[in-house]
Amino acid sequence: MKANKMRNMFKTARLTSAGRITEAAATLRDLLSGAVGQDHGRKRTANDATSQAEGKGWWTPGQRGAGSATDLLAGWAERLGKLQPEGEAKGGVGADALLRGQMPAALGDLLGRLGKLDGMPAGLANTFTRPAPQPLPPGARFDEHLYADAQGQRAYKLYVPSSYDGQPLPLVVMLHGCTQSPDDFAAGTQMNVLAEERKVLVAYPAQSQAANAQKCWNWFNAADQQRESGEPALIAGITRQIMREHAVDPARVYVAGLSAGGAAAAIMGAAYPDLYAAIGIHSGLTCGAARDMPSAFNAMRQGGAVSGRLSGRPVPTIVFHGDEDKTVNPVNGDQVMDQFSGGAGRLSSEVTQGQAPGGLSYTRTIATVADGAPLFEQWRIHGAGHAWSGGSLSGSYTEPRGPDASREMLRFFLAHPNDKAPAAPLPEA
């Protein structure tokens, strides 16, 4: 019986992390079918009733006090059970689509706290608890900074590898997804570990909760889709500030992101092709896919209203997307490739199939120009949802079973310097 419950817990965590909330709710209800109401000897109190009346349940992050595992799970099941199937909520947007961005982080908190409650099978809590962040290598730094200009201000964290001694290094700007933070995104993508290996600076701008309640980059606002305006100006300003304060190879500056951060990365590539040599978009959307909140939900469901192919310097682009992504339709990945390949001329494509060590298979498409130089890569991860492929469970929105998106992005980036920027020698790997 306990083994079956453990399997269902794993399944619930996996489905929620992949954004498949309706299925997660059903699995969690199955888990609780014979357990809800068994209080393991604990009497309910007035505080319990108050908490339930407020719709918080026992899973609420930050809540103190002891309780049973079944009480905690019951609150979660009740919350999940109230979600409607996609497309059935008011306005045509499912409640699960609206709340999905909050669920993985909340579930991680739930699972991590189960070990502090009675009624939990021995050893199960440790299985679900996120690993502690890896300590920094001696001499490396991961410090918080602040950038401010006429558009506002944003904090950011910068990873400086231990090997940095003033020589020009590549810079990768990483834009997190909704509800995430620089620390969470760094832990999940493990980009700092790779940066230490390859001698790269990595910046993580932090979206302000004052700018967006869920800490999403506002990729769907017209004012945040233009050069030197709104959030693009802030992200570019952070990039330039780092370039002023550190030795950065101006020909090897890159930007990547996940989900809303992926959409923001597409905007940065379109608006600043002179600043960013290449871009990486994971589970994101095209520049201009939406102009307001209603069109944003529509673009996430069925693809954006692509404003046309980009002209001018073709920006090398690498795209990752899970083919079971229920949050951002995988067709958006196809649209990104179409948009950014517009100025590249005639392309030829090579398609290969593979399987990651973690078990998920993928289809990889490499598009090259007439002289044979590869400019674009698209990875379709089969069986993956809305999560960073090959990421670590120490961060949110990760799919460890897929190919290592961070390693592949960094490999792609370093192979594509901006030939329009003054070059500096690339450090040895």
Please state, for a pLDDT cut of 90, what percent of the chain lies above it. 59
* pLDDT per residue as tens digits for the range 181-222: 999 999 999 999 999 999 999 999 999 999 999 999 999 999
Q: How far is CA 11 from the centre of its chain?
A: 21
Separation in Å, CA 108 to CA 212, 295, 379: 22, 30, 27
* pLDDT per residue as tens digits for the range 310-338: 666 789 999 999 999 999 999 999 999 88
Least-confidence region, from 60-64, 138-142, 235-239, 388-392: 60-64
DSSP 81-109: HTPPPTT-SGGG--HHHHHTTTHHHHHHH
Question: d(Cα 281, Cα 296) in Å, to the nearest integer?
Answer: 17
* pLDDT per residue as tens digits for the range 44-61: 333 332 223 223 322 233
Please state, for a pLDDT cut of 70, what percent of the chain lies above it. 65
pLDDT for 116 equals 36
Question: d(Cα 426, Cα 386) in Å, to the nearest integer?
Answer: 34
Query: What is the pLDDT confidence band of residue 290, given thresholds at 50, 70 and 90?
Result: very high
Question: What pTM was computed for the model?
Answer: 0.72
Question: d(Cα 190, Cα 186) in Å, to the nearest integer?
Answer: 6
Query: What is the pLDDT confidence band of residue 419, given thresholds at 50, 70 and 90?
Result: confident
Query: What is the pLDDT confidence band of residue 92, given thresholds at 50, 70 and 90?
Result: very low
The predicted model gives 20-45 an average pLDDT of 48
Higher-confidence position of 57 and 291: 291
Q: Is 301 left (phi over 0), alpha (psi -120 to 50) or beta?
A: alpha
Check whether 96 has a pLDDT greater than 60.
no
Mean confidence (pLDDT) of the chain: 77
> Which domains are assigned to the chain?
2-128 (no CATH), 141-414 (3.40.50.1820)
Evaluated on CA atoms 7, 10, 16, 20, the torsion sign reads negative
Q: Which two tokens stand for residue 89?
A: 């909520």
* pLDDT per residue as tens digits for the range 219-278: 999 999 999 999 999 999 999 999 999 999 999 999 999 999 999 999 999 999 999 999
